[in-house]
Structure 1
Amino acid sequence: MANLINFTKGHGTGNDFVLFLDSDGEIKLTAAQIAKICDRHFGIGADGLIRVIKSEALPEGAAVLDEEPNATWFMDYYNADGSTAEMCGNGTRVFARYLTEKGLIELHDGETLSIGTRAGVKDLQRNMAGFAIDMGRWKLEGESLVKASNLEVSRPGLGINLGNPHVVVALAEPEELANLDLTRKPAIEPEPVKGANVEFVVPSDPMVKDGVGSIQMRVYERGVGETLSCGTGIVAAALATRHWAGAGAPNQWTVRVPGGTLGVRMFAAEDGEHVGLSGAAELVYDGQIDISNL
């Protein structure tokens, strides 16, 4: 195995990733090595690492190809602490940008790109903002209590599953959101077996304008900490807010996070309601790292 890896740094609304090409699955990184790469002081620095690999080159890809033979590329995603993650909404858009800009695929306007993830096949298309991804079906899960630093009492949290787990908490006003201390991990009771991302949400005033809902959000990501944006968390926050709002709530939302604003759309599909996420994805720079030093 070569010690030098060519990598690309990318981000989606400030949610940043290190990507590298390993088509045939020849590069094996340990969790400790991944954590070192993602370390912002001793490594490159990122919220997660994405190995760009052919679906046929890893075991999880077999199920993907059975579901969609055109999903030839797999987003092998890891959190900043080196742990494996099922999905990353912002990561999928940056992954699509990487595939197209590096000449690994061609994606014309109106065409669909299918990619493999540990949460199944995800479909993306280009749009004016960057890329739009069909996140597929979602699940409403149980309620819990969430305690976070600078919140005087625990708050109810609503479980939303998008292939990875989320707990969404509604706050009363923007000041509560701004005063949250997310340098510490929020406590969830009962604690999910595999943990969860925790989203804190405040509706805009007015919450709905011209048929579009609007909220702002901060997120503590499982295995990472607070991030500037979280794609699946943004979707979970919009779904939870619509659920709380009840009948007549819109199916289109804008969600503002510290890293920018993304769009969420709920729509009917043959197998039930799907939810989509759209927003920018950028590649920032290329580099090379010697993994023998990790």
Structure 2
Amino acid sequence: MNFTKMHGLGNDFVVVAEFSSVPDRIDSLAQSVCDRHFGIGADGLVLILPHERADFAMRIFNADGTEAEQCGNAVRCVAKYVFDKQLTDKEEILLETRVGIQRLKLVIERGEVAQVTVDMGEPKLAGREIPTQVEAERVIDHPISVADGEFRFTAVSMGNPHAVIFVESLESVRLHQAGPQIETNLLFPRRTNVEFVQVHGPDEVTMRVWERGCGETLACGSGACAVVVAGVLNGRTSRNAVVHLQGGDLQIEWRESDNRVYMTGPSRIVFEGVY
């Protein structure tokens, strides 16, 4: 199996484009490939597949073998892969994911993709749609109690579920304790991604993320989108903000005109090989 190792701000993936459909036992393959000691090592396995209604399709499987509905960093990696590998010459492509077709705009520098703006779609805010067990049109500043303490979260779905928690200082967060406890809490029937956020101003925040099925990662594109949506809902940020992640920065805009969230950021190829 030929592969390309890529990352979006340190959120890393094994990208494979040689299958025409999802192979059998993909969960076991993802676990083996993503193992950082006995495999290639990654947060997820990304398959680029043909599609009838879009330019390409993407399926992503977490390091634990579960399939993710959405991943903003992986989407940007796919965009760079298909253009840099000359699978397309389009600077605007349509990509089918499990949450529907996404529109990607490529910024080309010296013949390669430098940045990608992704239309991440409209956020879902109703409690049951995210999904959570909370019966509310919007789940804002909702209490949650876990072994590591008491928190208040705002729930947002960007095609995948997020619990956004605002804190005074990220230094006080015990991510590896609180993260998995919140991820698997009964309030979230499909588990959840967890973002802890420190606000610096209306147009700038820093976040750390505990990703469902992966653990802590250096970046989460859909999580950054959820953070800005939650920031607006809580009156903490504007609709256009820079999100600082451990692996770098993303520019996020939640446009009032169409209610859609747009994410702009880079992706990189690390190395290639045969597994």
Q: TM-score range by the shorter chain?
A: 0.7 to 0.9
**Structure 2 equivalent of residue 263 of structure 1:** 251
Secondary structure at the residue paired with 2:259?
strand
**What CA distance in whole angstroms lies between the structure 1 residues aligned with 2:179 and 2:215?**
8
Deviations 1:49-100 (A, max 9, x none): 11111124xxxxxxxx2xxxxx131011111111111110000000000101
CA contact (8 A) 1:146 1:169 kept: no
**What CA distance in whole angstroms lies between the structure 2 residues aligned with 1:44 and 1:262?**
26
Distance 1:121 1:182, change over 3 A: farther
The one of 262, 266, 273 aligned to 1:280: 266
Deviations 1:248-273 (A, max 9, x none): x522100011111111011145xx40
**What CA distance in whole angstroms lies between the structure 2 residues aligned with 1:167 and 1:174?**
16
**What CA distance in whole angstroms lies between the structure 2 residues aligned with 1:235 and 1:32?**
30
Distance 1:182 1:283, change over 3 A: farther
**What CA distance in whole angstroms lies between the structure 2 residues aligned with 1:94 and 1:147?**
36
Secondary structure at the residue paired with 1:283?
strand
Secondary structure at the residue paired with 1:187?
helix
Distance 1:176 1:41, change over 3 A: same
The one of 153, 159, 162 aligned to 2:158: 162
Distance 1:52 1:277, change over 3 A: same
Where does 1:1-294 land on structure 2 (aligned, <5 Å)? Answer: 5-25=1-21, 27-56=23-52, 65=53, 71-108=54-91, 112-127=92-107, 130-142=115-127, 143=139, 144-146=142-144, 153-177=149-173, 179-181=174-176, 185-187=180-182, 189-204=185-200, 207-208=201-202, 213-245=203-235, 249-269=237-257, 272-289=258-275
Secondary structure at the residue paired with 2:105?
strand
* TM-aligned CA deviation for residue 283 of structure 1: 0.9
CA contact (8 A) 2:55 2:93 kept: no
Percent of paired sites with the same residue: 34
Segments of 5+ residues of structure 1 without an aligned counterpart are 57-64, 66-70, 290-294
How many residues align? The count is 256
* TM-aligned CA deviation for residue 172 of structure 1: 1.7
The Cα RMSD (Å) is 2.1
Segments of 5+ residues of structure 2 without an aligned counterpart are 109-113, 128-138
CA contact (8 A) 1:263 1:279 kept: yes
* Greater Rg by CA: 1
**What CA distance in whole angstroms lies between the structure 1 residues aligned with 2:22 and 2:179?**
37
Distance 1:29 1:101, change over 3 A: farther
* TM-aligned CA deviation for residue 192 of structure 1: 1.2
TM-score (norm 1): 0.81
- My pick for the range that moved more, 89-98 or 125-134, is 125-134
Distance 1:259 1:225, change over 3 A: same
